[in-house]
Amino acid sequence: MCYAIPGKVVEINDKKVTVDYFGEHKYAVNEFMGLKVGDYIYAQGGFVINRISEAEALPVLEAWKELFFTLKAVDNRLVRAKTSTDKIDPAFLKLMDKASEEKTLSREELLTLLETEDRDEQALLYKTANFIRQKHLSNSCCIHGIIEFSNYCTNDCNYCGIRKSNQTISRYRMSEEEILQTIDHAVNILGFKALLLQSGEDPEYPVERLQKLVTEIKKRFHVLLFVSVGELVKDGYRRLWEAGARGVLLRFETSNPILYNNCHPNQLLSSRIDEIKNCLDIGYLIVTGGLVGLPGQESEDVLEDIFTAKMLKAEMYSFGPFLPHPQTTFSKFPPSKLETMLNTIAVARIVDPEAKILVTTALETLGKEEGRKQALMAGANSLMLNLTPPKYRKLYTIYPERFGEEKPIEKQIEETLEVLYSIGRAPTDIGKS
Ligand code: 5AD
């Protein structure tokens, strides 16, 4: 099982290396000493994460060779498939032409796209976003593994099931040893190359402890490591960077300060945004976004959220639907609609053609089996699989009945590959064009 294709280094310019993949060239940042032209490497998220021998690389490349081009052909065919436009308003058609040509759309125009409820218009919107995705990022789909290592949280977010005032859930905290064992299996047996460690804001996992953990992970495993641990004390993220973390998932949740205050007692939008900017300045790959369908949220707010993710130079957009959790203040509000989520993904793709866009687990929960595929066909190109040990997974109840909660990881991988191959996507993340 493999989630990246090995590439051959063809040029080295200080830390920037050019890597060849079956004739296509991509760039990655190298932090390995003594890397030479001709070496084989694995890259993820634009970073070289491992150097491997030719003997190890060649059989993997041989296995990929045919599949690589077959999948591209399937993707090409689907992108070009015709959809009916007979019943679509000419003004909307014009907007879609403008989007395909990548001319800048005004706020009003983007709002029209975000708000459309017409099935034919939606189909054309998703097709256009899918076209832009392919043009810029080809068929590669990034797959990260997520390990939710603690559901303790000092925050009391009004939508979140692991908020501190929810006394009805059992709390758990994985030990370092358990986390390392989970990573060992993920990297050495399942072949994951990028992992995300997520928890609530857990005071028993302060920066010192996280720093030691990240250091140990980087010592033992060749993996691109993301952390998602909320806001940290001053210099916290710098210390985790020095320990070897290279990505941060931190959503701003909503860019509307009034909504933010409604959702987050005792937290400030400005400090959240500052923390994300701080991570960006340090050099982290940023995964960020917000909740769609929050009580009181308008489509103008969602559009502003997309602009905010772009302003924060998100490497990956993470937008998910609000799903009500019974033990929260927001329990009685309705969930977001699937179409609203798909529209959001498509508009994000139009606004930021180069970004990775994640199909969040919440979206998969909302859209069931088809949701993931629909999102991938509406501009998205990244996935996360849940590697949290099953006994803990069901306790990480940010919202109820999460998609894939019961599925063993091997089954998740099998089903994911089936979906990806059916639409011509390669489970790879090989660097920047
Ligand atoms: N519905 C959807 N997403 C939620 N999250 C927390 N609670 C909910 C909910 N009820 C999301 C937040 C957070 C991420 C870890 O989980 O956006 O950033």
**What is the residue-level pLDDT of the chain in tens, covering all 433 positions?**
345 789 999 999 999 999 998 888 989 999 888 999 999 999 988 899 999 999 999 998 998 888 989 999 999 999 998 888 889 999 999 999 999 999 999 999 999 999 999 999 999 999 999 999 999 999 989 899 999 999 999 999 999 999 999 999 999 999 999 999 999 999 999 989 999 999 999 999 999 999 999 999 999 999 999 999 999 999 999 999 999 999 999 999 999 999 999 999 889 999 999 999 999 999 999 999 999 999 999 999 999 999 999 999 999 999 999 999 999 999 999 999 999 999 999 999 999 999 999 999 999 999 987 999 999 999 999 999 999 999 999 999 999 888 877 888 888 898 999 999 999 999 876 555 4
Residue 21 CA to ligand 1 center (angstroms) comes to 37
Residue 251 CA to ligand 1 center (angstroms) comes to 9
| Neighbour-count burial for 408-431, b at 16+ CB within 10 Å, e otherwise | ebeebbeebeebbeebbbbbbbbb
Contact 126, 412 (CB under 8 A): no
Residue 399 CA to ligand 1 center (angstroms) comes to 7
Q: Which residue of 229, 291, 388 sits with most ligand 1 atoms within 8 Å of its CB, as the best mutation to test the pocket?
A: 291
Count CB neighbours of 118 within 10 A: 13
Q: Can you tell me which atom of ligand 1 is nearest the CA of 324?
A: 10
Q: Can you tell me which atom of ligand 1 is nearest the CA of 250?
A: 18
Q: CA triplet 257, 260, 262: central angle to 5 degrees?
A: 115
Residue 337 CA to ligand 1 center (angstroms) comes to 15
Residue ID of nearest Cα to ligand 1 atom 3: 322
Q: Which residue of 144, 146, 153, 159 sits with most ligand 1 atoms within 8 Å of its CB, as the best mutation to test the pocket?
A: 159
Q: What is the pTM of this model?
A: 0.95
Q: Can you tell me which atom of ligand 1 is nearest the CA of 253?
A: 17
Residue 166 CA to ligand 1 center (angstroms) comes to 14
Report pLDDT for 46.
Answer: 87
Report pLDDT for 352.
Answer: 98
CA distance 433 to 431: 7
SS3 content of the chain, % helix, strand, coil (to 5): 40, 20, 40
Strand ranges, E, within 151-284: 194-199, 224-228, 247-249
CA distance 350 to 348: 5
Residue 26 CA to ligand 1 center (angstroms) comes to 34
CA distance 289 to 285: 13
Integer angstrom CA distances of residue 415 from 21, 144, 372, 420, 422: 26, 15, 11, 9, 11
Count CB neighbours of 153 within 10 A: 21
Q: How far apart are the first and last CA of the chain?
A: 25
CA distance 144 to 228: 13
Residue ID of nearest Cα to ligand 1 atom 18: 251
**pLDDT tens-digit profile of 266-313?**
899 999 999 999 999 999 999 999 999 999 999 999 999 999 999 999
- Ligand 1 pocket (Cβ < 6 Å) reads 159-160, 251, 253, 291, 320, 322-323, 325, 362, 398-399
CA distance 55 to 70: 25
Q: Residues in the chain, how many?
A: 433
Residue 215 CA to ligand 1 center (angstroms) comes to 28
Q: Which residue of 153, 323, 398, 401 sits with most ligand 1 atoms within 8 Å of its CB, as the best mutation to test the pocket?
A: 398
Report pLDDT for 407.
Answer: 85
User: Which residue, 419, 425, 417, is CA-closest to 139?
Assistant: 425
Count CB neighbours of 286 within 10 A: 21
Residue 234 CA to ligand 1 center (angstroms) comes to 24
Residue ID of nearest Cα to ligand 1 atom 7: 160
Residue 212 CA to ligand 1 center (angstroms) comes to 27
What sign for the dihedral angle of Cα 399, 401, 406, 407? Answer: negative
Q: Which residue of 147, 155, 157, 160 sits with most ligand 1 atoms within 8 Å of its CB, as the best mutation to test the pocket?
A: 160
CA–centroid distance for 180 within its chain: 22
Residue 424 CA to ligand 1 center (angstroms) comes to 30
| Residues in CB range of 258: below 8 A, 6 or more apart | none
CA distance 324 to 299: 19
Report pLDDT for 361.
Answer: 92
> Facing residues of 380 across strands?
none
User: Which residue, 115, 114, 111, 109, is CA-closest to 97?
Assistant: 109
Residue 268 CA to ligand 1 center (angstroms) comes to 17
Report pLDDT for 2.
Answer: 41
Residue ID of nearest Cα to ligand 1 atom 13: 251
CA distance 362 to 368: 10
Place of tokens 């072949």: 191
Integer angstrom CA distances of residue 405 from 106, 198, 337, 364, 411: 40, 16, 21, 11, 11
| Residues in CB range of 387: below 8 A, 6 or more apart | 145, 146, 147, 182, 185, 186, 190, 192, 195, 409
User: Which residue, 427, 429, 424, 428, is CA-closest to 75?
Assistant: 424
Q: Can you tell me which atom of ligand 1 is nearest the CA of 323?
A: 1
Q: Torsion-angle region of residue 287: left (phi > 0), alpha (psi -120 to 50) or beta?
A: beta
Residue 78 CA to ligand 1 center (angstroms) comes to 32
Report pLDDT for 403.
Answer: 80
